Structure 1
Amino acid sequence: MIFNNNVNILTIPELIKIYIDEFNVSKERRLMIEGEKYYKVENDILNRKMVRYEDERPVEDETKANNKLAHGFMHTLVDDKVNYLLLKPYTLTCDDKEYLKIVEKVLGKRFQKKLTQLGTEASNKGIAWLHVYIDSKGQFRTIKIPSEQIIPIWVDNDHEELQAVIRYYEIEVYEGKEKKYVTKIEYWTADNVEYYVLDNEKREVILDAEMYLDGSSSYDGHFKINNTPSNWGKVPFIYFKNNDFELPDLQFVKTLIDDYDKTRSDVSNLLDEIKNVVYILKGYGGSSLSEFVRDLAYYHGIKIDPDDDAGVDKIENNINIEAAKAHYEALKKDIFDFGQGVDKNSDKLGNNPSGIALKFIYSGLDLKCNALEGWFKWALEELFQFVNIYLGITKQHVSGDKEITIVFNRDIAINESQAITDCQNSKSIISDETIITNHPWVENVDEEIKRIKKENKPDEPPMFKEGNQAGDE
């Protein structure tokens, strides 16, 4: 990581400083921040100010109505996508059952939840990062790192192989009674990790003295086994991409959401500011407008001067609600179309849509999930490599030549009654196990088969016989 052009030599701290400065002002990081903000419904409309001009200069006008209506489209789109693909437990299969059980045990039961968190992170920020490490008790652990804290240094232009990773983040520290913020920096390679801090006064990256108080060098690897430094042999960070371009979902609908927020807020402001009827008084006999309003409300009449031109006219100021509504509906449709989501309030769904209709309605969401699924499978295969390294270090069962197959069980919307009828009609055509697998009420196929065997009702032949495979005669 040292460049030498025979004129200048960049040291690692200088190189880290360049990367951080560039990343801080990059479009990629800005999109990450915006993606998370819109997911939390902290849309740009919340920063809008109403202005007036004084001496041709804009001045904030706090007297005008300024309703800020932020709509949670991104929260809905992202949650629907992540729940559709990742909410249901994934399935791992392998020819070596013993090895598979060990891998599942190493990952732990909570990894399913972590996978959904990675899905949300990737959808909001274009890419999510998982850090693998061995804790002080020698256990394999993973942790999701916020994407805006990670600067990847890639080997290739396709962004598939890591050369190094820079992680930087702020922490609060106290000098006496004064609170300050310190930027901590970690520089990870395939062999080791080095720790730095950003000197805010000199704007330089320097070694973090606190991390080396025990006298350890900067080449002590990633972890220690029996007090012996060791490493993974590869950068211990795994990327989970949202799509090939590492773009957040917000990128495709932000302008549409902003316009929806703006126009809905503008109409709300108009409703606050205008009156439907403006009265024009000619020869009014009262003393003030407040008296006019009072007399009109109480007596349903007013007094006027005896003058030929005296009278009361009115101007009705109406909003074209239908035009505004048409614009909202068009925007809403565009947001779900280009965001590849499913508008559950759409008339297309109807009361009881058929299976074919549901597949068509969910086709956009399926396509979006395909991109996420492909990269997540890639990432999990990388994770299994780290698990294999860990099993080798701890001298457990290793089966590196056995491939683990990953299946994401999508939470597909179905017409339940139709699905049950199809299962009944499939009897004697396909295996009973396949029928049970596709029955909408079954969550765990193996458990359901065990229950059927246990019941063994005397008045009807059992679906499964001991010693036979599902569907065998």
Structure 2
Amino acid sequence: MATDVLIKENKLLKQRFPDEANKHYTYPSIDKLLDNLNHLADMIENHKSVQRPRLRTLENYYKGNNETILEGQRRKEEHQADNRATHNFAKYVSQFIQGYMVGIPLKTSYDDKNVEEMLRDMNRINDADEHNSELILDQSIFGRAYELLYRSKADENRFTTVDVMNTFVIYDDTVERTPIAGVRYFYNDYTKEESVYLYTDTYRIIYKIDEDGKLTEDDAEPHVFGGVPIIEYENNRFRQGDFEDVLTLIDLYDGAQSDIANYSQDLNDAILAIFGRFDLDGYGDKDPLEIMKMMKDANLFHFEPPVDGEGREGRADAKYLYKQYDVQGSEAYKTRLANDIHLFTATPNMNDERFSANQSGEAMKYKLFLLEQKRAAKERRFKKSLRDRYRLINNVMKMASEGEFDVSKLTITFTENLPKNIAQEMEWFNAAGGRLSQKTMIDQLRFVENADEELERIEEEEKRKPINKNLYDFPGDKIEEVTADGE
């Protein structure tokens, strides 16, 4: 620890963000925290001053407001061009990963149809597909995402995303790292009041923050989730965003592209160097600068060659003075930077001619091998938090006598969003003599959410179809009635 401090004091370790900007908040227990509200106030202040700047920087890069290229002075001479070109690699990385993971919505299934139907209805009420997609995006940008569970006025179990800029979770200091509280704080521009919402496993407590940073309880309300209703979704072990470790490479690319733009613009204002002397005959007493401007406007310069001391004439010439630009070297440098950004974020470079759109899904997987490894790790962490969501909802359902289910039996399925040649696969399967059930074939359709529901709809439609009695009559046949006497 002393070595780390020494390195930082000597400024040998040049990190963009300090380690404290992404640390977890821990405390022995919720009871001790409630007895020491000044420690909670310190955590909030630390989050504002140390953690939020990192989150704000990552948000700026995602929005294309790349801070390094947009801040400070880049050109020493005021008359030179000062273009600031930003390149939104950050949005490309996060949106690609978001689409790859949940472009096809994840599915939650259960072996009991009644429970599965209940979960499906709840997910529809909460628009779970969009909600999960937003969580994945926040994870990718900030390295973390937060979800708040609550019971609506209509007695519905609801969940929503909350802003990472003013939300954090406090864990106990055991090896299990169990959440003991969730915190949301915000400032109201109209009332000029700052409030803190503290969620424990049994209560939601509201505090007001005075000018001295002291917390005063304003309201308290119990809940029956049986756990902290703010759930944290971590992107990875270090809570690092998907483009966070290539911010310096993005800065270098911005700088290189901006320098090229400045070069092109400065070339228009290059200095004209004349080797010789102007022929001023016929211009009278006009100022030489005015004569030069007249010639420039006419795109013609007329000047005499210089004469040395022995009367010999030199060569007359005129040319612009400007910094020479190595086109090939500069383009190779930018290409290398772009390739490194894609390599270290495990995202494909769509400008790569070898990344053809005509390849099959299996061939694409080999090109996305690194992203597949990242996806697997992200999915495991996402499923863990997702099960926490349904575990807390199950607790509420039991208390409200709305039924219950075993969260361990819940199946969560991610499907990578890749182009697939289903027709080719089906052709090969049929040629091999294979057969598929209707449910399996319907499952391959992306616009069908649930195959079982679709089969039930088909069955209901078949039952409602009118029976055509004429199908059972044969032309020329005459149906005769047989009496009791056999006549």
State the TM-score, normalizing by the size of structure 1: 0.78
Q: Residue 429 of structure 1 aligns to which amino acid in structure 2?
A: G
Distance 1:299 1:29, change over 3 A: closer
- Asked if 2 retains the 8 angstrom alpha-carbon contact of 1:31 and 1:248, the reply is no
- Asked if 1 retains the 8 angstrom alpha-carbon contact of 2:185 and 2:197, the reply is yes
* Offset at residue 332 of structure 1 (A): 0.3
Aligned equivalents of 1:120, 1:159: Cα separation in 2: 27
Check if 1:221 corresponds to 2:222.
yes
Check if 1:295 corresponds to 2:305.
no
- Asked if 2 retains the 8 angstrom alpha-carbon contact of 1:420 and 1:440, the reply is no
Aligned equivalents of 2:272, 2:292: Cα separation in 1: 13
- Asked if 1 retains the 8 angstrom alpha-carbon contact of 2:146 and 2:161, the reply is yes
Check if 1:346 corresponds to 2:352.
yes
Secondary structure of the 1:173 match is coil
Aligned equivalents of 1:2, 1:354: Cα separation in 2: 51
Aligned equivalents of 2:407, 2:63: Cα separation in 1: 44
* Offset at residue 125 of structure 1 (A): 1.0
Task: Report the equivalent of 1:238.
Answer: 231
Q: Which runs of 5+ in 1 are unaligned?
A: 54-60, 175-180, 213-217, 223-230, 456-473
Distance 1:126 1:2, change over 3 A: closer
Secondary structure of the 2:225 match is coil
* Offset at residue 378 of structure 1 (A): 1.0
* Offset at residue 438 of structure 1 (A): 8.0
Distance 1:233 1:292, change over 3 A: same
* Offset at residue 315 of structure 1 (A): 5.3
Check if 1:312 corresponds to 2:317.
yes
* Offset at residue 103 of structure 1 (A): 1.7
1:15-414 mapped onto 2 (5 Å cutoff): 15-26=39-50, 28-50=51-73, 63-109=79-125, 110-156=127-173, 160-174=177-191, 181-200=192-211, 202-208=212-218, 212=219, 218=220, 220-222=221-223, 231-275=224-268, 278-286=272-280, 287-289=287-289, 291-292=291-292, 294-296=294-296, 298=298, 300-304=300-304, 307=307, 308-309=313-314, 311-314=316-319, 317=322, 318-350=324-356, 352-400=358-406, 403-414=409-420
Aligned equivalents of 1:356, 1:271: Cα separation in 2: 44
Q: Which runs of 5+ in 2 are unaligned?
A: 1-25, 281-286, 308-312, 463-487
Task: Report the equivalent of 2:424.
Answer: 421
Secondary structure of the 1:279 match is strand
The more displaced of 378-387 and 266-275 is 266-275
Q: Residue 426 of structure 1 aligns to which amino acid in structure 2?
A: F
Aligned equivalents of 1:38, 1:46: Cα separation in 2: 11
* Offset at residue 312 of structure 1 (A): 2.1
Aligned equivalents of 1:251, 1:43: Cα separation in 2: 12
* Offset at residue 364 of structure 1 (A): 2.2
Distance 1:157 1:412, change over 3 A: farther
- Asked if 2 retains the 8 angstrom alpha-carbon contact of 1:91 and 1:408, the reply is yes
* Offset at residue 323 of structure 1 (A): 0.9
Aligned equivalents of 1:452, 1:101: Cα separation in 2: 18
Secondary structure of the 2:56 match is helix
* Offset at residue 388 of structure 1 (A): 1.1
- Asked if 2 retains the 8 angstrom alpha-carbon contact of 1:19 and 1:151, the reply is no
Q: Residue 107 of structure 2 aligns to which amino acid in structure 1?
A: T
Task: Report the equivalent of 2:484.
Answer: none
Distance 1:306 1:108, change over 3 A: closer
* Offset at residue 119 of structure 1 (A): 0.8
- Asked if 1 retains the 8 angstrom alpha-carbon contact of 2:346 and 2:371, the reply is yes
* Offset at residue 394 of structure 1 (A): 2.7
* Offset at residue 168 of structure 1 (A): 1.2
Aligned equivalents of 1:422, 1:433: Cα separation in 2: 16
Q: Deviations over 1:369-399 (max 9, x none)?
A: 2222111111111111122122223322322
- Asked if 2 retains the 8 angstrom alpha-carbon contact of 1:31 and 1:251, the reply is no
Aligned equivalents of 2:258, 2:92: Cα separation in 1: 20
The more displaced of 296-305 and 398-407 is 296-305
- Asked if 2 retains the 8 angstrom alpha-carbon contact of 1:82 and 1:119, the reply is yes
Task: Report the equivalent of 1:431.
Answer: 436
Aligned equivalents of 1:439, 1:132: Cα separation in 2: 33
* Offset at residue 163 of structure 1 (A): 1.1
Task: Report the equivalent of 1:458.
Answer: none
- Asked if 1 retains the 8 angstrom alpha-carbon contact of 2:27 and 2:33, the reply is yes
Across the two proteins, how many residue pairs are aligned to each other?
Answer: 417
Decide which structure has greater helix share: 2
Aligned equivalents of 1:439, 1:399: Cα separation in 2: 28
- Asked if 2 retains the 8 angstrom alpha-carbon contact of 1:152 and 1:162, the reply is yes
Distance 1:184 1:291, change over 3 A: farther
Aligned equivalents of 1:34, 1:51: Cα separation in 2: 20
Aligned equivalents of 1:70, 1:206: Cα separation in 2: 45
Distance 1:402 1:245, change over 3 A: closer
Aligned equivalents of 1:353, 1:366: Cα separation in 2: 17
Aligned equivalents of 1:259, 1:158: Cα separation in 2: 41
Distance 1:62 1:171, change over 3 A: farther
- Asked if 2 retains the 8 angstrom alpha-carbon contact of 1:86 and 1:409, the reply is yes
Distance 1:436 1:279, change over 3 A: farther
* Offset at residue 347 of structure 1 (A): 1.6
- Asked if 2 retains the 8 angstrom alpha-carbon contact of 1:135 and 1:141, the reply is yes
Aligned equivalents of 2:317, 2:34: Cα separation in 1: 83
- Asked if 1 retains the 8 angstrom alpha-carbon contact of 2:75 and 2:82, the reply is no
Q: Deviations over 1:12-35 (max 9, x none)?
A: 321111112222333x43332222
Aligned equivalents of 1:242, 1:65: Cα separation in 2: 41
- Asked if 1 retains the 8 angstrom alpha-carbon contact of 2:276 and 2:303, the reply is no
Task: Report the equivalent of 2:468.
Answer: none
* Offset at residue 426 of structure 1 (A): 0.6
Q: Residue 42 of structure 1 aligns to which amino acid in structure 2?
A: N
* Offset at residue 336 of structure 1 (A): 0.6
- Asked if 2 retains the 8 angstrom alpha-carbon contact of 1:423 and 1:438, the reply is no
Q: Residue 90 of structure 2 aligns to which amino acid in structure 1?
A: M
Task: Report the equivalent of 2:19.
Answer: none
Secondary structure of the 1:384 match is helix
Q: Residue 378 of structure 1 aligns to which amino acid in structure 2?
A: K
Superposition CA RMSD, Å = 3.3
